[in-house]
Chains A and B, each alone.
Chain A
Amino acid sequence: MNLRRIPLSAIVGMLVSFGFLFVAIFAPLLAPYELGQSIGDVWEGASDKLPLGTDNLGRDLVSRMIYATRTTIFIAGAATFISFSLGSILGFTAAVKGGWLDMILSRAVDLLMSIPTLIFALVVLAVLPANIITLILVMGILDSTRVYRLSRAVAVDINVMDYVEAARLRGEGTSWIVFREILPNALSPLVAELGLRFIFAILFLSSLSFLGLGVQLPDIDLGGMVKENKEGIIFHIPAALIPAFVISILTISVNLVADWILNRTSDLKGGRG
């Protein structure tokens, strides 16, 4: 891969995304204060010691945001991992096997997608215990329907190509067809989709936490921080805007990378990628 061919936007996106990942991994080392440590007055302004000031309970905003970023990335990442593995494995299987399996899976996904994801998540969260495992599973399973649709569509398109038929006629087994013929050609759109699903998971988690139905105290994520500090807005205190802004930066930078990969998909015919 030629580095100079990567557009500037994608490079910026990658650098920022890696920055976030770094912060998430080393959160305890980077944060100046503990997660729940109260160190000053409520909604103190920015100072040399506290670059962003304090929150609604007088905790350091920077430290709290570092931990919140960690939670957000961890939960969104885990949910994406589940939605992606579940969706793509089922989607590929449905496309290659066809028949009744494809029929049942596809109709089930149609039904699940006939209800908006947020609504269905709210229904389920009304009865399930509020914890991080529940959140990850609910988000992952609901979002796997999108991944299923895409990976099935991509695999079906490739599956009818003459070169896959040629492999069948040659006597290749299912695993060769999936891993050597279909997968290499489906990789680009799927990787781009991975980015989009991750963005969606971040936004979805943040929305749930903002509504008070996501991550529960004492854990905190970025959406939850917006909720904690939203009362400050009417008192001219923009503390709630800062975590919301951080979410936007994170999603935009991942989106820049995903967009670049998606555009590269059309280069498939260009040979060596």
Chain B
Amino acid sequence: MGHPILNLVAQRIALGLLLLFLASGLIFIGTQILPGDVAQSILGQSATPEAVANLRKELGLNDPAYVRYFKWLAGLLQGDLGTALSNGKPIGEAVSYRFSNTIFLASWAALFSVPLAVILGLFAVQYKNRWPDKLISGVTLASISLPEFFIGYLLMFYVAVILGWFPSVSIPNESMSLLEKLDTIALPVTVLVLVVLAHMMRMTRAAILNVMQSAYIETAELKGLSPFTVIRKHAFPNAIAPIVNVIMINLAYLVVGVIIVESIFVYPGLGQYLVDHVSKRDVPVVQACALIFASVYITLNIIADLVSIIANPRLRHPK
């Protein structure tokens, strides 16, 4: 038995792995829930019986479902994502290129949105119930209600097409310099930032307010500490965990938001790849992409939990 917090961390990571395993099972089941025949449904009603039988064989549909699941899982664990139905190529190659593109886009969005959200959240707390706070919460309410593609096309129409500041489609390639790449992805990054900013800011505001209303903040004020010291020594150490938590949850949200934004700007990322293959009913590709998205999402959520555990003084210094 080590320090109790290590046990908790180990427990949480184990739980995350279990969740990941179950999620892979759920994704697999999700592609099996069709009452009829998958092969028939993929090829459509007009397909010849021979074609259907071939596809059944190719998909391994003649094995029972659990055998197919464990085969798939075993492949995944060895880094083999399987073969795409639509073009017969290994999925792994296409995915790694597109996944790195998606990460590139999402990282830049995170880089701008996180500091902006925290600063604006602090600002809203500072001017609580006065007009800057009300303005911020009004904008938040509106932006939560807007579909991503409205913001996306609005920017594309006015900023790219009419003003011509940035390209309207974002297709970076290897020969571009970093600056050129950034110019290419400027609009999708802006849309992603706008989409997550509102949530992140609102939750940051709530997290900070919660700490600022604690009795120990009053104690600090009654000690004659300056407002800056109160925040630095008494508010910040207690607010850091909830804020990191908020950030992680919103980054997880960003991972999903990326799918729509990639489609708007024809960005060659994993999201667009997934969407294309859903229309093509290419089940192996859909399973592989969904599992990657789910893994990132689950991992970010686990990190959020771990931060709360580690930052909690009650757990760090047990009785």
Asked if A and B form a direct contact in the complex, defined as CB atoms under 8 angstroms apart, the reply is yes
The answer to whether A255 and B263 touch across the interface, beta carbons within 8 angstroms, is no
Q: Is the interface of A mostly helix, strand, loop or mixed?
A: helix
Q: How far is the CA of A210 from the CA of B275 in the complex (A)?
A: 11
Q: Is the interface of B mostly helix, strand, loop or mixed?
A: helix
B168 contacts which of A126, A233, A244, A255 (Cβ < 8 Å)? Answer: A233
Q: Which residues of chain A in 95-145 are interfacial with respect to chain B, using CB atoms and an 8 Å cutoff? A: 110-112, 114-120, 122-129
Residues of A with C-beta under 8 A to B148:
207
Give min CB distance, A20 to chain B, whole Å: 13
Can you list 22 A-B pairs, Cβ within 8 angstroms, ordered by A? A114-B297, A114-B301, A115-B23, A116-B255, A116-B297, A119-B290, A120-B27, A122-B290, A123-B27, A127-B30, A127-B33, A128-B41, A210-B147, A210-B149, A211-B263, A213-B278, A236-B161, A241-B153, A244-B153, A252-B145, A254-B145, A255-B141
Residues of A with C-beta under 8 A to B156:
233-234
Listed stretches B113-121, B230-238, B279-287; interface member: B279-287
Whether A87 is near chain B, meaning CB under 8 Å from some CB there, is no
The answer to whether A119 and B293 touch across the interface, beta carbons within 8 angstroms, is yes
Q: How many contacting A-B pairs (Cβ < 8 A)?
A: 145
B256 contacts which of A116, A212, A244, A254 (Cβ < 8 Å)? Answer: A116
* Nearest B-chain residue to A206, judged by Cβ: B147
Q: How far is the CA of A241 from the CA of B144 in the complex (A)?
A: 18
Whether A245 is near chain B, meaning CB under 8 Å from some CB there, is yes
Q: Which residues of chain B in 16-57 are interfacial with respect to chain A, using CB atoms and an 8 Å cutoff? A: 19, 22-23, 26-27, 30-34, 38, 41-42
Q: Which residues of chain B in 243-260 are interfacial with respect to chain A, using CB atoms and an 8 Å cutoff? A: 252, 255-256, 259-260
Give min CB distance, B181 to chain A, whole Å: 21
* Nearest B-chain residue to A211, judged by Cβ: B275
The answer to whether B147 and A259 touch across the interface, beta carbons within 8 angstroms, is no
Q: How far is the CA of A111 from the CA of B297 in the complex (A)?
A: 12
The answer to whether A212 and B279 touch across the interface, beta carbons within 8 angstroms, is yes
